[in-house]
Copies of this chain bind each other. A is one copy, B any other.
Amino acid sequence: MEFSKAIERAVADGFDRQTEWLGRLASFDSTRGNEGPCQDWLANEFAARGWTVDKYAIDDVGIAGLPGYSPVVDADYAKATQVVATHDVADPVGKSLILQGHIDVVPPGAPELWSQPPFEPRVVDGWMHGRGTADMKAGVSAMVFALDALSGLGFVPGARVHVETVSEEECTGNGALSTLARGYRADAALIPESMGHKLIRAELGSVWFRLRILGRPGHVLAGASAGAHAILAAMAYIEALKRLTAEINGEARSHPYFGSVADPVKFNPGKIRGGDWLGSVPSWCELECRLSVLPGHSLPEVRNRVTAAVRACAEQLQAAMPEVSWIGFQADGHVFAPGTAAEALLADIHQSVMGSPLEPICLTATSDTRIYDLYYGIPTLCYGGIARGMHAPDEAVDLASLRKTTEIIALFVARWCGLKSKS
């Protein structure tokens, strides 16, 4: 097939430039609250391609209380920059498309675990290493360079395409939500997360919460029961929430999508701060946790179970009930229903490029997919290349698979949107 060969060659010809571009993108420390310079750079890149650029802050859009909204803690949404670049056509010949990638990255964690500075990306043996390379700046490069490859062949998409780079994917999904609240829609969306060339069929939601635990402090000379000692109490709450998680995982064995996954629901006591003096029984401890949410389980139900488990533990400790705050993700689980035209097209292209059928996966994590598909009815393909060490110090993306992903996106755009000659 001549056209796919031409795409393959165009992507290959541009791949050094794409790799360099990805290296530049991954050199931004775009952890939460620091997305601005990265988004400014992207907005310029998009404008240089002739796209109409809408750069705005989440606070410019009213999203509070919308379905899919998560509460905002420790973030200034007046500075949470989002970018939507639009290629529009007067007389479309195909269907419209959203290409979306998030540019927020998770913190690097303990610096001594990195063999290189996390924001100085480096290519070793065909893998680009660095925080955010795989999750998911490689995907962002794929959607941009897929359009560049078409352009290099003299084409533009034959229908409206929004190229969206959002933040907040790693904690709320509110960046994606703001694009929809701002009015951007399409006949399908594609999010090139590094999924190992698989398609998300189902994904877990998650809730984030914080316990503020108070002790009954005093001088350490007297010792303290677990209920009086805020840090020992935190350990007891962790154990109680592990038991709740095991209970939910028991129920998950009959789940239509996650029944075959061992213990799909994960509880992560991921952040803890407590006490301020070793000669005092700690008076406070703040424990922050994440718990997965199965598709079909309602968020209020999950929150009630968390609160009940905490309350039962507090009673057992004869301690005051900790303050429970819901501080980030309040994300539903989500199933991307089989049978869409978008999936059929992706499956066809994947088969022809990769030489194997497209496999769906049930992901034990949360992506932006639900925002488009679940709340706005836009069929959304979450599909991309091969990664390792997501959220870990050794995060890296396989460049060969990134090239394939870029080809596949270019072919998808060509067939979904149709093509027009560049004017």
B270:A273 contact, CB within 8 angstroms:
no
> Of all chain B residues, which has the CB nearest A107?
B276
Residue A392 lies at the interface, judged by CB distance under 8 Å to chain B: yes
Distance in Å: Cβ of A307 to nearest Cβ of chain B: 18
User: Complex: how many Å from CA A194 to CA B393?
Assistant: 51
User: Complex: how many Å from CA A203 to CA B173?
Assistant: 56
> Of all chain B residues, which has the CB nearest A387?
B219
Residue A47 lies at the interface, judged by CB distance under 8 Å to chain B: no
User: Complex: how many Å from CA A281 to CA B109?
Assistant: 9
Chain B residues positioned under 8 Å from A214 (CB to CB): 110, 112-113
Chain B residues positioned under 8 Å from A232 (CB to CB): 238, 269
Near B by CB (< 8 A), chain A positions 264-289 give 266, 268-285, 288-289
A219:B276 contact, CB within 8 angstroms:
no
Distance in Å: Cβ of A294 to nearest Cβ of chain B: 14
Chain B residues positioned under 8 Å from A126 (CB to CB): none
A275:B270 contact, CB within 8 angstroms:
yes
Known: A231-B269, A275-B270, A283-B113. A217 touches B263 (CB 8 A): no
Chain B residues positioned under 8 Å from A285 (CB to CB): 272
A217:B109 contact, CB within 8 angstroms:
yes
Chain B residues positioned under 8 Å from A274 (CB to CB): 271-272
Q: Mark A212-246, 1 if CB is under 8 A from B, else 0.
A: 00110111111110000111101100100000000
B288:A391 contact, CB within 8 angstroms:
no
A276:B271 contact, CB within 8 angstroms:
yes
User: Complex: how many Å from CA A366 to CA B279?
Assistant: 9
Residue A170 lies at the interface, judged by CB distance under 8 Å to chain B: yes
Interface size of A by Cβ–Cβ distance < 8 Å? 61
Near B by CB (< 8 A), chain A positions 355-394 give 363-366, 389-393
Chain B residues positioned under 8 Å from A283 (CB to CB): 109-110, 113, 393
Chain B residues positioned under 8 Å from A391 (CB to CB): 217-220, 277, 279-281
User: Complex: how many Å from CA A329 to CA B278?
Assistant: 10
Distance in Å: Cβ of A71 to nearest Cβ of chain B: 14
Chain B residues positioned under 8 Å from A103 (CB to CB): none
13 additional contacts (CB under 8 A) given A219-B391, A231-B271: A106-B277, A109-B282, A170-B277, A217-B391, A218-B390, A219-B365, A220-B391, A222-B266, A231-B238, A231-B269, A234-B272, A272-B285, A277-B391
16 contacts between A and B (CB under 8 A): A109-B277, A109-B282, A110-B217, A113-B214, A218-B390, A220-B270, A221-B266, A221-B365, A222-B364, A231-B271, A270-B282, A271-B276, A271-B282, A278-B329, A279-B391, A283-B393
A→B interface (CB under 8 Å): 106-107, 109-110, 112-113, 170-171, 206, 208, 214-215, 217-224, 229-232, 234-235, 238, 263, 266, 268-285, 288-290, 328-329, 363-366, 389-393
Q: Which 9 residue pairs spanning A and B have beta carbons closest together? A: A109-B283, A221-B365, A110-B284, A219-B391, A270-B278, A271-B275, A278-B290, A280-B391, A110-B283
